[in-house]
Amino acid sequence: MVKRFSKFAISLAAGAVISASAQAAVYVVAHPDDDILMMGPNLINDIKQNYPTVIIVVTAGDAGKSYRPKLPSVPDADQNSFNSQSNPYYRVRLTAREYALNLWVPSSYARPLARSWVNLGSGVSQVERIQLGNVVEYHLNLPDQVEGSGKTTIQSLRDMAGYVTHDVEGLNTYSAATLRGVIRTIISSNFHNTPILNINYQSPQAVTGEHPDHIAVGAIVQAAINEVPSYKCMGQAIYDGYSASAVSTSDPKFYFPGLVAAQRAGYEQVHAVLKDQGNITPIDGGIVNMGTPASTTTPYATSSDSTPRQMGTMDGFHTSFYGKSKWTAVASTGSCNL
């Protein structure tokens, strides 16, 4: 079990000791599987401990393949034929993560999950909100694609003054200031009068090989916190991205063998949904290892003969995250009153 004191007893200031317990947690991620993979043990622990947990998924995870509205940069055939049930790629990914959450929440929670659309102000009037027990999740559905500027949508929001974009369904309009405000609004509306609150987000530090959206979302979250000092009350866990897979299994600070099975089950559930819903966008690739047992492969995977396999399949790289989370902690500035 992940110990909350192990998460926030780390400090950037030598000798400091941070709050030993959590009452609530926020996770902000770029893509629908980032928290499941890179923050998995802490996310699972927060859910299983029945902490009020809010998750904000910033992009739709559409990989440039959403089609409401259609994207001029993607051929119609690619947007309409990749799913046998005519579901856009992003919608299947979001459905898949909902199935993963279902595995982790206490069995006492009523099913199915509740779905609604909420008005977050600043022109953002239709945001999907799902709830299952003490877990609440928001899907902002910003595009996960490269723009004409050579930057992704989220990079453009971070870097380009005056840049404005729409979510993939064309429902809401976002500037960088709007996105920062929406993040704060979600936090304050769910955790008003919650004195001890931890926020988990991706590192804004540029690292070779890291996904640019992980870095950009991390920078946007950090800016949202820093520009309104009262939000610094939150304890912060800032996560490494792909380099977290290299965490040693002998490191008790970042590796939690007791949660490997739960993290594996969640990720395998994600990919079962992708397969069952006919989402078979192929890419060339090598061996795909389900990891349970090590000798098995997914029924839609191939060996290293360059035969197309499913996009986003559970290859050895992705399964190497099981049981691992690596973060830097920043101390809160005191009790929250958001």
CATH number, domain of 291, equals: 3.40.50.10320
21 falls within a domain: yes
Cis geometry, peptide bond prior to residue 69 (ω within 30 degrees of 0): yes
Q: Which domain holds residue 102?
A: 4-330
How many domains, the chain? 1
| C-alpha 266, offset from chain centre | 13
The pLDDT of residue 165 is 94
Q: What is the C-alpha to C-alpha distance for residues 299 and 297, in angstroms, rounded to an integer?
A: 6
The pLDDT of residue 308 is 38
Q: Output Rg (C-alpha) for the chain, integer angstroms.
A: 19
C-beta of residue 54 within 8 angstroms of C-beta of residue 131? no
335 falls within a domain: no
337 falls within a domain: no
Q: What is the C-alpha to C-alpha distance for residues 274 and 278, in angstroms, rounded to an integer?
A: 7
Cis geometry, peptide bond prior to residue 112 (ω within 30 degrees of 0): yes
The pLDDT of residue 149 is 83
The pLDDT of residue 12 is 33
188 falls within a domain: yes
From first to last of its 338 residues, what are the pLDDT tens digits of the chain? 344 434 444 333 322 223 334 579 999 999 999 999 999 999 999 999 889 999 999 999 877 665 444 444 444 544 444 444 456 778 888 888 999 999 999 888 888 899 999 999 888 999 999 999 999 999 999 999 888 888 999 999 999 999 999 998 889 999 999 999 999 999 999 999 899 999 999 999 988 889 999 999 999 999 999 999 999 999 999 999 998 999 999 999 999 999 999 999 998 888 777 766 644 444 333 333 333 333 233 333 333 433 334 445 566 778 889 999 999 999 999 999 99
338 falls within a domain: no
Residues paired with 200 in a beta bridge: 27, 237
Please state, in angstroms and as integers, the Cα–Cα distance from residue 187 to each residue in 125, 171, 264, following that order.
Answer: 17, 21, 29
197 falls within a domain: yes
Tokens of 278: 């006919």
Phi, psi at 114, each rounded to 5°: -95, 135
Tokens of 245: 């897979």
